[in-house]
A and B are shown apart, each in its own frame.
Chain A
Amino acid sequence: MASMQLTDEELFSELKRFGFTPGPVTENTRPVYLKKLKKLREEQQQRGSRLGKTRSSGSRPASHDVTHLSSSRRPDRKSSVLGFSSDESDVEIPLKRKGLSHSVRVDRSPSSSQQPKTRPVTAASVAFKNEYDAGSTLNSNNSSPGPDGQRNVSLGWRVRARSSSEAEGREDEESEGEDDYMGETEKNSRSLNGCGGSNLNTSKLAGDYSDSDEEVLGGFGARHRKLDLLEPRRSHPKASFSSRGVGRGSQTGGAAREVNPPGSLNMVRRWRGEDEEDEIKRRDTGPSGGLRGHYFPKKPIYVSLNDNHRGEAGKNNHVDSEDGASRSSTFSIGLRPRFSNYSSLSQTYRGNHSNHSAPNHSYSQALLKHKLSAPEEELLQQFKREEVASSGNLFSAHYLSWFLLMAACLFFLLLGLMYLRMRGSGSSEVDGVSKYHTGCAEKDLILKLLLSLHDHLAHIAGIDVWATWKLICAVPLTCTVCLFVQTQNWEFENLTHTSLEWIIRTGRDGADEPVTDVSEISRLESTHPKMPFACRFRRAFFTVISRVFLIAAGCLWGVVCYMKYRWRRQEEETRQMYDMVERIIDVLRSHNEACQENQDLQPYLPIPHVRDSLVQPQDRSKMKKIWDQAMRFLSANESRIRTETQRIGGADFLVWRWIQPSLSCDKSSLMPSKVWQGKAFPLDRRNSPPNSLTPCLKIRNMFDPVMEVGENWDLAIHEAILEKCSDNDGIVHIAVDKNSREGCVYVKCLSAEHSGKAFKALHGSWFDGKLVTVKYLRLDRYHQRFPQAQGCSTPLKASSLHLNTMSMMNTTPCLQHHSSANSSGFS
C-alpha cells in the first residue's frame, strides 16, 4: 500500500480524521497504526458501499448504476486515495505536467467540470444522454475522421485511459469523466465498426486527440516505467468500455477485434487480449459473473492509474490486487440490485445498437450484435437465476400463507359439515325405511311423507328444545299426523298408515316398549330435532368450549405436577451443593492449618484432588453436576478461597488456595502477645543492685494501657509474672496499675530474698515485645499504696500449670488466652 509514503504526521492526521486519537507515531508504533488506519478505512468503505446500495432505486438505472459505482467506488477510492490525495496530487502534478498535455487536460477539465462534483447522477445522465445523442452525430461523423478512425480508436482508448488518469486527482469527476469518455468512444467503436469515431466533443477533442496523441503516448511512456503496468491499465480502459453496458463491452470488444488497427496499435491488440482475458477472468471470478466482470475493470482503472502514480515505489501490483479485491467485493455487493436495471439497460442498448448499426451495415456490425447478445444473454440468464432464486423464497412464503388460509377454510368447512350432518340424519332414517319396502310406486310418496313428517317433528322438537332444552315432543298422534300430512300433500293421505308401519318396522323409533301396531302409536317423537340455527350454534359452541376446558385443565394439571417435581429436585440439589461446599471448605481449612505447621506442604490443593477425596468413585458421575455448582458457588461467593492455576508435576492444575489468615486467636499469636521472650541483658553488678533491698518490686513496661483490650488482661499479667517466677513461691501480692502509662505492676514478696530472686528473673526480660525493668520499692510506700497487701502472706501460684506465658511463640497460643481469661482474680 502506498501508505508507506505517509509520513508520520500524515498518518497521525489520517487517524485523527477517523476520530481516533493515536499516540505518537514512532518507528515501533508505525506498523500498528498503519494497520489501524487500514482497518478504519475498510470500515468506512463498507459503510459507504452500504449507503450506495440503498441509494439506488431505479428511475434512471443507468445513472444510478453509475452513481452507485461512483459512490461505491468513491469511498473506497477515498480510502485508498484519501490520505493519498495529497500525496497523489503532489506526486501526480509533476508527473502530469511531465506527461500530460495541458491543453488536453484543460479541455478535459471544462468538459468534466461541467458536471458538478456533487452531482454524479446528473453527470452520469448527461454522459448517457450524450452517448445516445451522439449516436447520430457519431454516425454522421463517421466518414469525416475516416483516416483518423483507427487512430481515434486507439486515441479513444488512450484518451480514456488518460481521462481516467487525469481524473484520478478528482474524486467525483473521475467517474463521470471516464463514463463520459468511455461512452463516447464506445459509441464510436460501435457505430464505426470499431473504426474509432469522433467523440462527443468531436470538435474539441479531435484536435486534442491529434495534439495529445503523441503527448499521451509520451506521457504514458514517461510516466510508466513498467510496460506491464501500462498494459493492465490500457486494458482497463478497454474493459471499461464493456463495463458501460451489458452488451457494450462485448460490442466494443467485437469492434476492437474487428478493427484491430494495424500499425501503431499493437497496444490495441494487447489491450484487446488483455481485456478479454480480464473479462473472462472476471467473469469467472465473480458470482455475478459477467456483469461484475464488466464492472470490475472500471474501478481498477482508477486504481491502477493511481497506483501507477503512487507506485513509483513499485508497490502497484499488490496494491492493485488489494484494492481490486476490496473493490470487487463492494462491486459485487452493489451490482446485484442492479441486475434488473441492467437487463433493461441491455435491452435499451440493444435497441440503440440496432439504431446505430442501421446506417452502418457491415459484417462487423452483425458480429457486434452477436457479441452483444451473448453477454446480454448471460446477464439475463443470471438475472433470471436470481429471479428464480428469489421467487423460490417467495414461493415458500407464498405456500405458507396459502397453507394457513386453506387450513382455516377447511376448518370452517368441517364445522359446516358437522352442522349439516345434524340436519341430514333424518334422511338416513328414510333410507333405512326404504329398504324394507319392496319396490312399490308408492315408495316415493311414502318416503316423501316420512321425510316431511320427520322434518315437521324435528322442527317441533327443535322448538321445544330451543325453548326448554328438553327433548320432549308431545305430538298427539294420528290426527295431527293426518292433518299435517293432508296439509302437505293429498297423496299422503292413504299412506300414513303404511308409513307409520314402516317406522315401526325399522324399529328406529327408540321407543321403550316394542310397538307392533299402528294404533299403539301414541306419540311420535323425533330423536333428531331440527333446531333453529342459533340454538344449534349455541349447543355446538358450548360443547366445544367444555371440551376445550377439559383439555386445558388436563394440561394445566400435568404442568403443575411437573413443576412441583422440578422444584423438589432443585431443592434437593441445592442442599447437596451446600453440603459439598461446606465439606470443601473444611478440607481446605484443615489443609491450611496443616500447612501452617508443616512448611513442606504446598498451601493450595488441586481441585480434582479435592473432588476425588470428597466424592466416592461410584458417585462421581452422579455428583458431577453438584460438584460443578459447588465450584461455581465457591468462586463466586467464597472469599476465603482463591482459585488459581498452578503447575504441579509439570501439568497445569486449577487449585484452591485458602487465603483466610488465621482466626483471631491465631492472629494474636503472630504478634508477640503476653509471653516472656527472653532476656535482653544478663544481670550483673552494673545493672542491678547487688542485693535485694526491699521485698517490694515495681515492674515497669509490662503493658500498654492504651493497647490492652479485653476484661481480664491484668489477670494475664498476673499470670505472666507468676509463671516467670514460678520457682519463687514468695510472691504474695501483685497489683497491676491499669492506668499507668508506663505499664507498672507492683509486686510484694515475702522477703527481700524472694524479691531479689524475682528481680533477677524479671529485670531485663522481654515481655510482649517490651523490655521489662524492675525497681525496688520501699515497703511502707507499698503499703501506703496497697493497704490490702499488708495482710497478704500466702504465696501466689500460677493458676494454670501450663506455663503458657513461658512458651515460645506460636505454640498453642489460643490456649494461653483462654487460660488467662479463665483465671480468676486472686489478688
Chain B
Amino acid sequence: MSSTSQKHRDFVAEPMGEKSVMALAGIGEVLGKRLEDKGFDKAYVVLGQFLVLKKDEELFRDWLKDTCGANSKQQGDCCGCLKEWCDAFL
C-alpha cells in the first residue's frame, strides 16, 4: 500500500475551493512562494495548468521543475495529488 501523506489525503478529501497553492502535496513554503510569484497563487490555477497539459504527468512534472524548481519527489507528490483530485471530483 503506497503511503500518501496527510497533506495529500487532506487535499483529495474535498473540493479544493480557494485553497492556497501550498495546500498541494509536495508544495511547501518555498515552492509555494515561487509559484505565487509566477502568478499561480491558488491551487486551482495549478490545476488549470495540469489540465492544460492534458493531465500528462511527464509534462506537468517538467513544467513544475521549470517553474518552481521542484525536485523529483515533490513533482511526484504534486502530480499524484492533482491526479487523484481529478479522479475524484472532475
Contact = CB atoms under 8 A, between A and B. Distances in A.
Interface in A12-45: 21-24, 26, 28-29, 31-33, 35-36
Nearest to B54: A23
Interface stretch (B10-18, B26-34, B58-66, B79-87): B58-66
Nearest to B56: A23
Nearest to B66: A31
B62 A635 contact: no
A654 B6 CA distance: 12
Given A31-B66, A32-B59, A23 B52 contact: yes
B1 A635 contact: yes
Contacts of B1: 635-636, 642-643
A659 to B, nearest CB: 11
B90 to A, nearest CB: 15
A32 B52 CA distance: 12
A658 to B, nearest CB: 14
A317 interface: no
Max count, chain B CB within 10 A of own CB: residue among A23, A26, A35: A23
A28 B52 contact: yes
B88 interface: no
Contacts of A21: 54
Contacts of A636: 1
A644 interface: yes
A644 B1 CA distance: 9
A645 interface: yes
B71 interface: no
Contacts of B56: 23
Given A635-B1, A644-B4, A645-B5, A26 B52 contact: yes
A590 to B, nearest CB: 22
A799 interface: no
B3 A24 contact: no
A646 interface: yes
Contact of B52 (A24, A31, A645, A654): A24
Contacts of A36: 59, 62
Contacts of B66: 31-32
A635 B52 CA distance: 36
Nearest to A23: B54
A644 B3 contact: yes
A35 B62 contact: yes
B52 A646 contact: no
Given A24-B52, A28-B49, A32-B53, A643 B3 contact: yes
A642 B2 CA distance: 9
A23 B53 contact: yes
Contacts of A654: 3
Nearest to A642: B1
Contacts of B59: 23, 29, 32-33, 36
A29 B54 CA distance: 11
Contacts of B62: 32, 35-36
A22 B56 CA distance: 9
A18 to B, nearest CB: 14
B11 to A, nearest CB: 15
B53 A646 contact: no
A628 to B, nearest CB: 16
Nearest to B45: A28
B63 A28 contact: yes
A35 B58 CA distance: 12
A781 to B, nearest CB: 56
Contacts of B67: 28
Contacts of A646: 6
Nearest to A634: B1
Contacts of A642: 1
Interface in A607-642: 635-636, 642
B64 to A, nearest CB: 10
A175 to B, nearest CB: 35
Interface of B: 1, 3-6, 49, 52-54, 56, 59, 62-63, 66-67
24 contacts: A21-B54, A22-B54, A23-B54, A24-B52, A28-B63, A28-B67, A29-B53, A31-B63, A32-B53, A32-B59, A32-B62, A32-B63, A32-B66, A36-B59, A642-B1, A643-B1, A643-B3, A644-B3, A644-B4, A644-B6, A645-B3, A645-B5, A646-B6, A654-B3
Given A32-B59, A654-B3, 18 more contacts: A23-B52, A23-B59, A24-B52, A28-B52, A28-B63, A28-B67, A29-B49, A29-B53, A32-B66, A33-B59, A36-B59, A36-B62, A642-B1, A643-B1, A644-B5, A644-B6, A645-B5, A646-B6
